[in-house]
Chains A and B, each alone.
Chain A
């Protein structure tokens, strides 16, 4: 009986220790080709793009490196929200990353959502303090439960860490400077119209609006050029009243920030409609909101042109 109890207690203690080590030090594992640690390891990047899967699927790293001056890095996490983007930017700047221009994903649905960390890869890239702050944000605003807490701190990413040598090599080969190297094919009009809509939301979330404010404040503090980018959506989205309403609220929020802008750098909002991108061409899309490889190349080319025309 004593043997059993001591072994179980010892094993639980070892598990607790492993959890603490993971949450603080997993970020120190050799960096891959995507995520925050890889960006920090570069030391500096001229153009830093922070966003959700819209940026991962919507921006071509090859075209950015050709079309924009200096180096570019795309930091994207699935479902990345403004509140978390602000925390990520602050973390990277404090870790010494030097940036000249900052590009933020303007996706209305993430701005309307309750604060939530959807992509646990973010937890692999950050220290315990970041995680505690992110957890506090989620708990306060979204009523996260004990099982969420357990997943967040204990079980998240364990599979990736256990298989790190294989997993890191496999996943890293799919990215360069945060940009995806995978070639996703486009769809047909029929396929895109067969997809369900993304539902409605009740206005913007206050924590996310605060995230936009914080991003602008950090850009001012570090003398960055600040761009808000709306990646193209399929034409069906622009006929969706819920989407348009949220889109309008988002624009209103960032335009308010533009009016209050006191930074040394420039402030610009570039929406898909400002570019000559064909949102009715189904071949440019993987689904209603994500671009295909062809759409990504075309959009990034147009975006680089728009950024350069301003300069």
Chain B
């Protein structure tokens, strides 16, 4: 169920029926029961760990609030945060660090066999860990009160394990979520309609575009030497779109599912490939993570109110952590490093400039981001370099190379049809997002879909959805 969006939506339909038949005050318990059931279907053993972490965070929150001195509060905060970070480190990063240290020692001529744990990663651990940390940090900073009592405990567990958000986020803040839950989420036709539009948009991005591109991207990234350079260039661009449509598609669906349950949540993506610079890109891409990193790492480190050197170190730290959050591997750290350095030297773009300059800035940003995604997608640093080398040295626009670059879509004579269809849908998405960024629809609310777009996206999903591909790229992080 956790890797199949249609099953998740069917599950949601069942939950909705029970949810709205239950009085407002009891709905948090329905949400909690549904979230526990959802987690149980994916990961019965590790549910104990997730729920246990949440209960510990809940208890530590009460402790932090009740502590008399700042030192005691700090001790409670550390007691809340360190265990969950330790669990995250052991489960997600231990093998990576152990192997890296082992390789380093081997390089230095020392033969040490690094212990490898190969532990299963709990569903959504990176997401719920960040939720737990922000909750306890907010209490420590006096931004919110701790949840208390059985009712508060139930609401907090429902927040941490909220089933639409557990697989791939967004990392919604506790204050925003819990205030709605305590008020007793009711049926709001406007919000319900917003949710349905978000789900249609998300399904279109995920099923029609991301799933369609995944086979091509996997084939070319899996063996770049077997394909012409043009195929590598296409695969890099297609991966940019696949990742965006997969992740933002899931985010749209998750936020939309929350809307159907009467829970509001801010957008997680805002047409990021229309950004004119890297700073703007990070204000539009995975907004819940970048704002989390800003609020809980960058600002506590001093933010902008420090020397230029220290600020540079802070920016780099944030992006390296962002890279590491995405995965335990050097490719993610390098990807984070690239973005960190780029951010360091980037300046905010002046709002008023001509259309040609705007297009140029947008293209340069997109190309740079795509280059970064190559490291993000590759199995290793060496594989990324091999891929890029092949893209440059093997590039030509001969008829044979064009033919062989389209072939990975299906491997037979229908590949041209699949290639043209994929390009057609990407163009549709471009038109839609261009309207959102530069057109009139931006003023109509962040989820507004005109009748035309709603109909096009619904029909496209039914007729052109690729339903055989399960899972979400960002669920792996």
CA distance A8 to B196 in the complex (A): 9
Contact A163 B416 (CB under 8 A): yes
CA distance A155 to B416 in the complex (A): 17
For window 401-444 of B, CB contacts with A under 8 Å fall at 412-414, 416-418, 420-421, 424
Tell me whether A141 is interfacial, beta carbon within 8 Å: no
Q: What residue in chain B is nearest A9 (Cβ atoms)?
A: B458
Q: Which of B103-111, B311-319, B463-471 sits within the interface?
A: B463-471
CA distance A259 to B193 in the complex (A): 70
Residues of B within 8 A of A167 (CB): 414, 416-417, 420
Tell me whether B459 is interfacial, beta carbon within 8 Å: yes
Contact with B along A1-41 (1 / 0, CB 8 A): 10111011011101100110000000000000000000000
Contact B193 A1 (CB under 8 A): yes
Contacts A3-B451, A11-B454 given; 7 further ones with Cβ under 8 A?
A3-B193, A8-B196, A12-B462, A78-B412, A158-B463, A160-B417, A170-B416
Among B193, B200, B462, chain A packs the most CB atoms within 10 A around the CB of: B462
**Could you say which of B412, B455, B463 contacts A155, with CB atoms under 8 Å apart?**
B463
CA distance A174 to B413 in the complex (A): 9
CA distance A4 to B454 in the complex (A): 8
**Could you say which of A7, A162, A171 contacts B454, with CB atoms under 8 Å apart?**
A7
Tell me whether A159 is interfacial, beta carbon within 8 Å: yes
Contact B462 A166 (CB under 8 A): no
Contact A159 B418 (CB under 8 A): yes
Tell me whether B189 is interfacial, beta carbon within 8 Å: yes
Residues of A within 8 A of B468 (CB): 147, 151
CA distance A193 to B414 in the complex (A): 29
CA distance A1 to B455 in the complex (A): 14
Tell me whether A154 is interfacial, beta carbon within 8 Å: yes
Contact with B along A84-103 (1 / 0, CB 8 A): 00000000000000000000
Tell me whether B197 is interfacial, beta carbon within 8 Å: yes
Q: How far is the CB of A181 from chain B (nearest CB, A)?
A: 12
Contact A15 B463 (CB under 8 A): yes
Contact B421 A162 (CB under 8 A): yes
Per DSSP, chain A at the interface is helix
**Which B residues contact A (CB, under 8 angstroms)?**
189-190, 192-193, 196-197, 200, 412-414, 416-418, 420-421, 424, 451, 454-455, 458-459, 462-468
Contact A15 B451 (CB under 8 A): no
CA distance A171 to B415 in the complex (A): 10
**Could you say which of B417, B454, B455 contacts A163, with CB atoms under 8 Å apart?**
B417
Residues of A within 8 A of B420 (CB): 159, 162-163, 166-167
Residues of B within 8 A of A170 (CB): 413, 416
Q: 4 tightest CB-CB pairs across the interface, nearest first?
A: A11-B458, A15-B462, A167-B417, A159-B417
Q: List 12 A-B contacts (CB under 8 A).
A: A3-B193, A4-B193, A7-B455, A8-B458, A11-B455, A14-B455, A15-B459, A78-B412, A151-B467, A155-B466, A160-B417, A167-B414
Contact B417 A18 (CB under 8 A): no
**Could you say which of A15, A147, A162 contacts B458, with CB atoms under 8 Å apart?**
A15
Contact A158 B458 (CB under 8 A): no
Contact A7 B190 (CB under 8 A): no
Among B190, B197, B417, B458, chain A packs the most CB atoms within 10 A around the CB of: B417
Contact A160 B455 (CB under 8 A): no
Q: What residue in chain A is nearest B188 (Cβ atoms)?
A: A1
Contact A155 B459 (CB under 8 A): no
Given A12-B458, A174-B413: A1 touches B421 (CB 8 Å cut-off): no
CA distance A253 to B206 in the complex (A): 49
Residues of A within 8 A of B454 (CB): 4, 7-8, 11
Q: How far is the CB of A38 from chain B (nearest CB, A)?
A: 15
CA distance A18 to B464 in the complex (A): 12
CA distance A229 to B254 in the complex (A): 56
Contact A158 B464 (CB under 8 A): yes
Given A18-B459, A159-B464, A171-B413: A4 touches B418 (CB 8 Å cut-off): no
Contact A1 B190 (CB under 8 A): yes
Q: What residue in chain A is nearest B453 (Cβ atoms)?
A: A7
Q: How far is the CB of B435 from chain A (nearest CB, A)?
A: 17
Q: What residue in chain A is nearest B452 (Cβ atoms)?
A: A7
CA distance A43 to B423 in the complex (A): 38
Contact B196 A154 (CB under 8 A): no
Q: How far is the CB of A170 from chain B (nearest CB, A)?
A: 5
CA distance A10 to B456 in the complex (A): 11
Residues of A within 8 A of B416 (CB): 163, 166-167, 170-171
Residues of A within 8 A of B459 (CB): 11, 14-15, 18
**Could you say which of A1, A160, A162 contacts B424, with CB atoms under 8 Å apart?**
A162
Residues of B within 8 A of A158 (CB): 421, 463-464
Given A18-B463, A154-B462: A4 touches B424 (CB 8 Å cut-off): no
CA distance A170 to B417 in the complex (A): 10
Q: How far is the CB of B48 from chain A (nearest CB, A)?
A: 33
Residues of B within 8 A of A159 (CB): 414, 417-418, 420-421, 464
CA distance A108 to B368 in the complex (A): 54
Residues of A within 8 A of B458 (CB): 7-8, 11-12, 15
For window 229-267 of A, CB contacts with B under 8 Å fall at none
CA distance A170 to B459 in the complex (A): 27
Residues of B within 8 A of A171 (CB): 413-414, 416
CA distance A155 to B463 in the complex (A): 5
Given A11-B459, A15-B458, A162-B421: A1 touches B413 (CB 8 Å cut-off): no
Residues of A within 8 A of B418 (CB): 159
Residues of A within 8 A of B462 (CB): 11-12, 15, 154
Contact A162 B196 (CB under 8 A): no
CA distance A160 to B413 in the complex (A): 10
Q: How far is the CB of B28 from chain A (nearest CB, A)?
A: 25
Q: What residue in chain A is nearest B212 (Cβ atoms)?
A: A159
